[in-house]
Amino acid sequence: MKISRKASLLGLLSTALIASLPLNATELNVYSARKEALIKPLLDRFAEQNDVTINLVTGKADALISRLKNEGQFSPADVLITTDVGRLQRAKDMGLTQPITLAEFPNSEFHDAEQHWVALTKRARPIMVSVDKIDEYKIQSYEDLTKPEFAGKICVRSSANIYNQSMVAALIAQKGEQYAQDWATGLVKNFARKPKGGDRDQIKAIAAGVCDIALANTYYLAAMQNADAAQQKAAQAVSVVWPNQSDRGVHINISGIAVTKYAQHKTTAEALIAFMLTQDAQSWYGKTNHEYPVDSTIEWSDTLTALGTFNGESIPIGKVGELNAQAVKIMDRAGWL
């Protein structure tokens, strides 16, 4: 998959599609793992255009899935917006979602094969390297991170983190379980410290000299580059390495949206999904979150554009979610705490 400023994989859903979906409610209940500031303005625009009141509940991604499960058939939620295909697949496997019945479902690999969820944005997880070491280390692949010379040099989040789980799951899908096991075991040997913190913390650790190398999603780096002076300074301490450009490409994941199993307002929920995939919504959402739009015609944010183009993984994204449990076992065996 070649990823460039205007290269992606999804055909447009027209505004006419939204108009073709008669709304069956004057309200819509949305559970969102995205922070309010990153999603509410877009929901407000949909609400105003369609005379719908949106009741927004935000929270941690895993907590919202647990809430849906506990609420069962009495859940008020109509829509789930969350991060990473691993969580979307988990919600599906738990029976918390239902097929989306858009008249024109996106023709893309970035949706569930049975249409239980669809991607809203793509996110890349490259390698971050200290600007002082980028020329010396000459890292070109994820496999390079297992080399003995990088012992004590790598910072990364814990194995409980869904982004790392999906990265390992993608490696299983492409190279097999034993290959992924060997890679995870080699990576753990090179940890600079016990895994802790979020992606921003790994970048800050490089800036503080705790380690020289980290794995992190680009939107965290982009957010830091547009934050306060301290975060900007930390972000300036790293360079992005796009790994495996001659073979399988950098790891790609998504944020996505689904209709809940017991949605009371399904038609309105599907109208929101169609709206979220229009050009205007994709442009705002991608640039506000500093993520890569799934719409092939939308330009990236200036910050992402400055990070450069890259080749991404080309595997069915749903497979990554399906292999999550296998990935967790591999990470446990490797001692990835």
**Which residues fall in the annotated binding site?**
219-220
C-alpha distance from residue 148 to each of 225, 260, 275, 310 (Å): 32, 47, 49, 27
Q: How many angstroms from the chain centroid is the CA of residue 277?
A: 16
What lies within 8 Å, CB to CB, of 132 at 6+ separation is none
The secondary structure of the chain in percent helix, strand, coil, rounded to multiples of 5, reads 45, 20, 35
Give the residue from 167, 199, 182 showing the smallest Cα distance to 315: 167
Dist CA 57 CA 10 (whole Å): 28
Dist CA 213 CA 216 (whole Å): 10
Dist CA 97 CA 78 (whole Å): 9
Dist CA 152 CA 187 (whole Å): 10
Binding-site positions for Fe cation: 219-220
Cα atoms in the 13 Å half-sphere on the side-chain side of 306: 11
Tokens representing residue 174 in the block: 């492409």
